[in-house]
Amino acid sequence: MKCDSWIATSMLGVCMAMVAGCSSSPKSAPAQERAASVNQTCALAVADSGELGMSCLLKAELADTQVNVDRPGSLACNSDSFSLFKQTMSTPIWLVHGQKGDDGPLRVRVGGKLGPGTHVGKIGQSAGNECDATVGPVAILTTQFGGTYVAMVDKTQRPVCVAQSRLALSSLAQKQSVGLSKDISGVTRESITDAVQKRLDLEVATQVNRYLQPGKALSDAVVNRHGRCPEGFRTFRD
């Protein structure tokens, strides 16, 4: 919030009072998705078992978002929103290219295990017209997770893209540093699971593209849609 110098003294007092109501610092600007190609250690390689796959520690910054207890799944900014920001994730992954022998000219299945992983972020009641600030207490949210992941990569498109994927977390535990005005545990679990799955999709799309088309990076448009195909993406079903 900014009070311009030409505002009368009485209005300046009002502005200062409004600032005082926002007890926490403004949240960070939305983080841009980091291109998965920076994770050199996640490149597809042949393991001692002879399988082609990815075995690495995946670290990433995740974009800011909003969650709403009263409207689960809503990303809209309003007075009921909580802002989830300064998010990072780190998890070991072991993914096989051609899992279950599914690798052909049209598609390839990439799947395996991940975890134990950690997600850390900050969350507070949204404030500001664009939810660019928080009001009241801000909690540090720490999430431990692990499970399985599978993706079906469409090799007919250029760049190749993730047409289907599924993240099944067998373990997910959260710790919140301070209490908030509402119980946000359910919606944050959903939001974090979705964010981790999207980041895995982006990593898989990037590394399969690097393997099939060395030296060609994903465009910003592909990165912004998390490496997913532009049309028809859906949850993977065996």
Q: Residue 16: inside a domain, yes or no?
A: no
Q: Residue 222: inside a domain, yes or no?
A: yes
Q: Residue 119: inside a domain, yes or no?
A: yes
Q: Among 72-76, 92-96, 111-115, which is the least confidently predicted range?
A: 72-76
Average the pLDDT over 142-158 and give the result: 97
Q: Residue 13: inside a domain, yes or no?
A: no
Query: Cβ(124)–Cβ(83) under 8 Å?
Result: yes
Domain count, the chain: 1
How sure is the predictor about 8, in pLDDT bands with cuts at 50, 70 and 90?
very low
Q: How far apart are CA 111 and CA 8, in angstroms?
A: 63
pLDDT attached to residue 41: 81
pLDDT attached to residue 60: 94
Q: Global pTM?
A: 0.84
Q: Residue 17: inside a domain, yes or no?
A: no
Residue numbers of the domain that contains 80: 25-235
Q: Is the pLDDT of residue 121 over 50?
A: yes
Which helix (H) or strand (E) segment is 203 a member of?
Answer: helix 185-212
Q: Residue 90: inside a domain, yes or no?
A: yes
Which helix (H) or strand (E) segment is 81 a member of?
Answer: none
Q: Select from 73, 82, 100, 87 the least CA-distant residue to 199.
A: 87
